[in-house]
Amino acid sequence: MTTAQPVDTLIHARWIIPVEPDDTVLEHHSIAIQNGRIHDILPSQTARTRYRSANEHTLTTHVLIPGLINAHTHAAMTLFRGLADDLPLMDWLQHHIWPAEAKWVSPEFVRDGTMLAVAEMLRGGTTCFNDMYFFPEATALVARDLGIRAVIGLIVLDFPTAYAQSPDEYLDKGLRLHDAWRHEPLITTAFAPHAPYSVSDTPLRHLRTLNNELNLPLHMHVHETAHEVEEQKSRTGQRPLARLDALDLVDPAFVAVHMTQLTDLEIARLAELRANVVHCPESNLKLASGFCPVHKLLSAGINVALGTDGAASNNDLDMLGEMRTAALLAKAVSGEATALPAHTALRMATLNGARALGLDAETGSLQPGKAADLVAVDLSTLASQPVFHPASQLVYTATRDQVSDVWVQGHPRVRNSRLIDIDPAGLLQKVTAWRERLAERA
């Protein structure tokens, strides 16, 4: 009689959607986890005889998916949620958000805002986020302490803020952060120049030189609105993407966020250079920024990921909701009901995000050897029944309240719909104190 092999964790699920191979659903399968990694994926009947674990979970009504990857966030801005709603982008940014940041942003603000964001993201099934904000050192500390995977943006701007006074100071601080965190398993870094209209050519050329050595993702808002494109064209004589291309920044490490204003020639150039796009449908809708041509981008072979943007403009960090919005919006914009099927929306929220961030060897799909970043979603609720196609029910009916369990690198972060290592009551007290301070000075 063969002795069952011990593993750290054994999860039996009604369905597993591994994302790779594409459009695959495994029924009555199990995942064995050892040392934080996926050791095996196999039929549950076989798994129960081949493996044993003191940590065994049977999820009879759940679909198990890779952890969701939020490919564009400003995590600390959760403290500005609802502060300035229903305004156009530049009015919202210049007259409300930037003044509020000038008054309030500090390491303490970033720490508490990021804690709120991480709690929301984990509870909704997000196991990795790509951030761009001030005092990124505080963001990295929170992500590490709360056990979520994070790509920390090394922000660059032309103008002074509470964080840095010049482009050189932003870069110096960013490089120190990169060096300090480069051996932390859950933390990686990316260059994060804010946008073409807020970063001039000289620091962008410096970034190009630095990235020839470091080969980090370069994460930037690009072509977010028609106003931005026209204003940059009048100032520089070039559309923003063409200017960035001329500076040799558009390459497989380039992560362009929003991209609501694109010509067919620009799409062809992005495909040629193998650049990445992050689609933030709900933020773009709320700010009336425009529509990212997702169907055209995907048809051209461009890697398109999903992000929520910050909670100040979304107003949530709900990646399940973002998948549904992305799938529906792509159909309406393209006029094709087949434009973005459910399994593609899930891929955008997982593996495509990992690829954009250079993490696809580590996470983004469920394969032996990859990190055990997993999410269990309960499809037994009345609103998700009956289940004919689990991926469709996941994208078109499931809500984040149906997320029951989350693991990051094999460690449980949500169990039975409850956050682990986060005290909701204590966090709420911090957030309430910030609301009172912000409201008093608003």
Residue 292's pLDDT band, with cuts at 50, 70 and 90, is very high
pLDDT tens sequence across 76-85: 999 999 998 9
**Cβ proximity of 155 and 110 under 8 Å:** no
Other CB atoms within 10 A of residue 380 CB: 12
pLDDT at res. 98: 86
Relative orientation angle of helices 136-146 and 107-123, to the nearest 10 degrees: 40
> Residue 361 to residues 69, 193, 353, 354, 372: CA-CA distances in angstroms?
14, 25, 12, 8, 12
* Residue owning tokens 């977010």: 224
CA distance 122 to 142: 13
* Dihedral over Cα of 240, 245, 249, 252: its sign: positive
pLDDT tens, position by position, 299-328: 999 999 999 999 999 999 999 999 999 999
Res 442 pLDDT > 70:
no
pLDDT confidence of residue 441: 57
Q: For the domain 68-356, what is the CATH superfamily, name and number?
A: Metal-dependent hydrolases (3.20.20.140)
CA distance 44 to 49: 9
The first and second tokens of residue 235, run together, are 């100032």
Q: Are 5 and 52 in contact (CB under 8 A)?
A: yes
Question: How many residues are present in the chain?
Answer: 442
User: pLDDT tens, 384-431?
Assistant: 999 999 999 999 999 999 999 999 999 999 999 999 999 999 999 999
Which tokens hold the place of 265? 């020639």
Closest CA to 99 of 113, 80, 81: 80
Average pLDDT over residues 182-194: 97
The first and second tokens of residue 84, run together, are 């300035």
Per-residue model confidence as pLDDT tens digits over 233-243: 999 999 999 99
Helix (H, G, I), strand (E, B) or coil at 253: coil
Which residues lie below 8 Å from residue 368, measured CB to CB, with a gap of 6+?
Answer: 37, 38, 39, 40, 41
Could you give the CA distance from residue 252 to residue 159 in angstroms, rounded to a whole number?
A: 28
Residue 124 burial by Cβ neighbours in a 10 Å radius (0-12, 13-18, 19+): buried
In tens, the pLDDT along 63-121 reads: 999 999 999 999 999 999 999 899 888 888 889 898 999 999 999 999 999 999 999 99
Q: Are strands 254-258 and 218-222 parallel, antiparallel or unpaired?
A: parallel
* Concatenated DSSP letters of 337-377: TTSS-HHHHHHHTTHHHHHHTT-TTTSSS--TTSB--EEEE
Looking at the domain that runs over 5-66+373-409, which CATH code has it been given?
2.30.40.10
Sorted by where each begins, the domain ranges of the chain are 5-66+373-409, 68-356
pLDDT in tens, 339-380: 999 999 999 999 999 999 999 999 999 999 999 999 999 999
Kindly compute the dihedral angle of the four CA atoms of residues 303, 304, 307, 313, in this order, to the nearest 10 degrees.
130
DSSP output for 11-66:
EEEEEE--SSSTT--EEEEEEEEETTEEEEEEEHHHHHHHEE-SSEEEEEEEEEEE
Task: Please give the Cα distance from 212 to 41 (Å, whole number).
Answer: 38
